[in-house]
Every structure is written in structure tokens, then in C-alpha cells.
Amino acid sequence: MRDKEPQPERSTGSTGSTGGTRGTGGDVTGTGFARRDVLRILAAAPLAVFTIACEDVDRAAQHASDSLAQAAKDGVPYTPQFYTAEEFALARVLADLVIPADERSGSASDAGVPEFLDFLMTAYPDMQEPMRTGLAWMNTASQSRFQKAFVDCAPEEQARLLDEIAYPKRAAASVKDGVTFFSRFRDLTASGFWSSRIGVKDLQYMGNVPQTAWNGCPPDALAKLGVSYT
């Protein structure tokens, strides 16, 4: 069965919908709830006949994890399943521009984001067309401005183009397609980075472990909000 564009994991209060914004999920703050109206989007989709077998997706998942393990082991480069070599290089450059390495953690590509994106495109085919046309838009735009492919541009040139499309509220109507693509790409990169080992460690996430007792939140977390248990 072919999966539609994915939604984030949600724990179920009493189940059902959550409020919605847009894009690739939208769980800015890691509450476990999508701020996207899952239902609205599903309701809008026709009762599709899915043609891609579950096994294909399972194979893609296996490929992604095997390749990453292999690459980590002996430096064999990852072979993308969806992206062309040129697209994959561009996706890597863009992902690292969205989330670069800093003093606290590595970059998007250090966290395996390009491979994650390639997996998503294979597992959720509805995402392919916007990705492909968006990457092409980036090159068309850089050609028209700098007569070069985006990956060949100087960092200042890349920044000039990104500045045009990275702030939806103040972007020009003429670059609307670029804005739409980049907002989506930024969201996907964030998904891939922050859910990686590197990202989880960077956020100092401390949960997902069995505990013998629940004693409430620690004093400094309470103090931050000016609340207490007494």
C-alpha cells in the first residue's frame, strides 16, 4: 500500500483532530501534536486506489538503514534512490545551509538529513513532484541571477537567493514558488535533523526511558514558571 504524505506521531488525548497550520507536519515545539489539520487534508484526498506495495516501502526503509550503516562502517557513499546525483548534491548543500554545524552539534548532513529526505521521497511518492520542481526552481533562479547552478555559487550568492525566499511574509510575489519550496524543505530538514541522534542530544531530551516513579518536574523547571507542588 502506498503511503500518503506523512503526519507526525501524536499521542492521543481523546484522539481526533488538532488545529492546523500547513506544510509538512508542523510540530514546532515537540509536544507530540501536529498543528496541522490531519483530518482536513485526509478528507480532501480522494479515496485513492494505492498501487505501490508495502514491500516497496519496506525495501526502501531497509535500503536507507543498511546504506547508512554501511557508510558509517567503511565510508561507502550512499546511493540515492530518488534523487539524481546532481539533485542529491543540491539537497545536501541546502540542508546544511538550513542547519549548519555550530558549537553545540553537527550539521544537517552530519545527522543524515540528505539520506532521510531521499527515504521520504521513496516512501511517500506524493512528495516527489514538489521536491523535484523545487530543486529545479533553485537552479533556474541561481542561473538567472548568477549564471551558475546553485551549488556552484559563492556563499554570498547563495545567501542572497535564500534571503529572497526564506521569509514568507516579506518575500516578493515573483518568487512565490521558491518560497513554498523552501518552507517545505526547511520543515523537512528540521524533521530529519532534530529527530536524529545528534538532534535529540542537542535538545538535551531526557525522556523515553522507564522510570520507577513519577515525582513531578524538577524544581528549576517549576521555578521557571513560578509554580510549585505545595
Q: In this chain, which of 3, 86, 129, 152 binds other proteins, going by CB under 8 A?
A: 3
Query: Would you say 87 or 161 has its CB closer to other proteins?
Result: 161
- C-alpha 122/C-alpha 105 separation (Å) is 28
Is the Cβ–Cβ distance between 194 and 203 less than 8 Å?
A: yes
Secondary structure class of 9 (helix, strand, coil): coil
Query: Would you say 3 or 152 has its CB closer to other proteins?
Result: 3
Residues 6+ apart with CB under 8 A from 57: 2, 3, 122, 123
Query: Would you say 83 or 119 has its CB closer to other proteins?
Result: 119
> Does residue 77 interact with other proteins by CB under 8 A?
no
Q: In this chain, which of 10, 132, 145, 160 binds other proteins, going by CB under 8 A?
A: 10
Restricting to residues 126-185, which ones interact with other proteins according to CB under 8 A?
162, 166-170, 183
> Does residue 8 interact with other proteins by CB under 8 A?
yes
Residue 149 CB burial class (10 angstroms; 0-12, 13-18, ≥19): middle
> Does residue 92 interact with other proteins by CB under 8 A?
no
DSSP per position, 140-152: HHHHHHHSS-GGG
Restricting to residues 18-57, which ones interact with other proteins according to CB under 8 A?
18-19, 21-36, 38-39, 42-43, 47, 50, 57
Is the Cβ–Cβ distance between 189 and 108 less than 8 Å?
A: yes
Q: How far is CA 15 from the centre of its chain?
A: 25
Q: In this chain, which of 90, 93, 97, 153 binds other proteins, going by CB under 8 A?
A: 97
DSSP state of 226: T
Restricting to residues 189-218, which ones interact with other proteins according to CB under 8 A?
190-192, 194-197, 199-200, 202-218
Q: How far is CA 126 from the centre of its chain?
A: 15
Query: Would you say 16 or 77 has its CB closer to other proteins?
Result: 16
Query: Would you say 85 or 209 has its CB closer to other proteins?
Result: 209
Residue with the three cell numbers 557508510: 71
Site size with other proteins, rule: CB under 8 A: 98
